[in-house]
């Protein structure tokens, strides 16, 4: 009975395969020939310049990226990724955040056997990628701010040598390293593709939210409308930025004691807890196993975070 069934299935499959091949194979062959002819014709047409095509980063979840891009929070997240200089997408960031949140939840459940610990650990782990992006954005903006006076000097010297402002921006983009070079390159490409220079500079000020960049965009826009010595304006702006850096370094020297105090106060309780766990484990075990001890740990973490943020706000002086 089984052998007869197998023979029937093989014969039926062969008949169906022959029928499908006979009905669809001529169409597939004709389509393949048409594609070859079109490919031969397309080879005679010059291919567009690859530099004119802006590459679009595709993430693992394109549908999620499109959904997020339509919301205000998604726009802020995409702007954060762009300012951090990372080639990723909001969908990929959500995947990483979810994976880290689940990992933190499992680790908290294994270490602290309390139902609320896993729930509290999930947002902590999920916020790590966003916090890393914000940290990287801060570092990138700080580096841009340090390189910006050199870029202004280069543009000013190019203008004095007789080059147009757009050409001077292109020269600065080719000469300078990241992050100033790529940002100036975007401005140069945008105005070459037809975007007005004012809009390109406004886009630069949006990507790099620094006061100096806004001054630069405003000064160039006013000079193009009213006239004036743009090279001298850029020299004065570069001088102001350098002087502000000197003041910022002096402020950091005077607030170094407060920063070190905040770090010591933040690290000291954790260091003492680890040390006491090795010296007298029985003394520290109720702090992790008893409910009142776990509540005290949560309260300690909250107060430590509030104190550290308070100290940072006190010693932060805007220049």
pLDDT by residue for the chain (319 residues), tens digit each? 444 444 445 455 555 656 555 666 677 667 777 677 666 655 544 444 444 445 555 556 677 677 776 777 778 888 898 888 888 888 888 889 989 989 988 888 787 766 677 787 888 889 999 999 999 999 999 999 999 999 999 999 999 999 999 999 999 999 999 899 999 999 999 989 889 999 999 999 999 999 999 999 999 999 988 888 999 999 999 999 999 888 888 888 888 888 888 888 888 888 888 888 888 888 888 888 888 888 888 888 888 888 888 888 888 777 6
pLDDT of residue 251: 87
By CB neighbour count within 10 A (0-12 exposed, 13-18 middle, 19+ buried), where does 124 fall?
middle
pLDDT of residue 12: 56
pLDDT of residue 48: 43
pLDDT of residue 21: 58
pLDDT of residue 199: 93
pLDDT of residue 168: 94
pLDDT of residue 283: 83
């Amino acid at each position: 009975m089984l052998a007869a069934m197998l023979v029937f299935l093989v014969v039926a499959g062969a008949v169906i395969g022959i029928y499908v091949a006979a009905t669809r194979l001529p169409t597939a062959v004709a389509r393949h020939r048409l594609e070859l002819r079109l490919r031969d014709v397309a080879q005679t047409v010059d291919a567009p310049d690859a530099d004119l095509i802006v590459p679009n980063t595709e993430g693992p979840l394109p549908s999620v990226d499109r959904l997020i891009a339509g919301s205000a929070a998604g726009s802020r997240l995409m702007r954060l990724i762009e300012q951090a200089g990372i080639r990723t997408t909001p969908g990929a960031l959500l995947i990483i955040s979810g994976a880290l949140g689940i990992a933190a939840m499992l680790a908290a459940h294994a270490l602290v056997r309390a139902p609320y610990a896993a729930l509290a650990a999930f947002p902590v782990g999920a916020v790590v990628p966003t916090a890393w992006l914000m940290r990287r954005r801060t570092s990138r903006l700080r580096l841009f701010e340090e390189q910006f006076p050199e870029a202004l000097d280069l543009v000013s010297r190019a203008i004095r040598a007789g080059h147009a402002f757009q050409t001077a921006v292109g020269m600065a983009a080719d000469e300078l390293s990241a992050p100033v070079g790529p940002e100036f390159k975007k401005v140069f490409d945008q105005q070459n593709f037809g975007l007005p220079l004012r809009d390109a500079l406004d886009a630069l000020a949006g990507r790099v939210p620094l006061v100096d960049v806004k001054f630069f965009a405003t000064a160039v826009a006013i000079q193009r409308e009213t006239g004036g010595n743009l090279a001298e304006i850029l020299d004065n702006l570069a001088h102001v930025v350098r002087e502000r850096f000197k003041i910022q370094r002096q402020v950091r020297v005077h607030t170094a004691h407060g920063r070190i105090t905040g770090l010591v106060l933040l690290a000291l309780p954790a260091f003492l807890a680890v040390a006491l766990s090795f010296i007298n484990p029985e003394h520290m075990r109720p702090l992790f196993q008893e409910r009142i001890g776990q509540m005290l740990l949560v309260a300690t973490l909250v107060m430590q975070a509030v104190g550290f943020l308070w100290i940072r706000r006190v010693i932060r002086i805007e220049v």
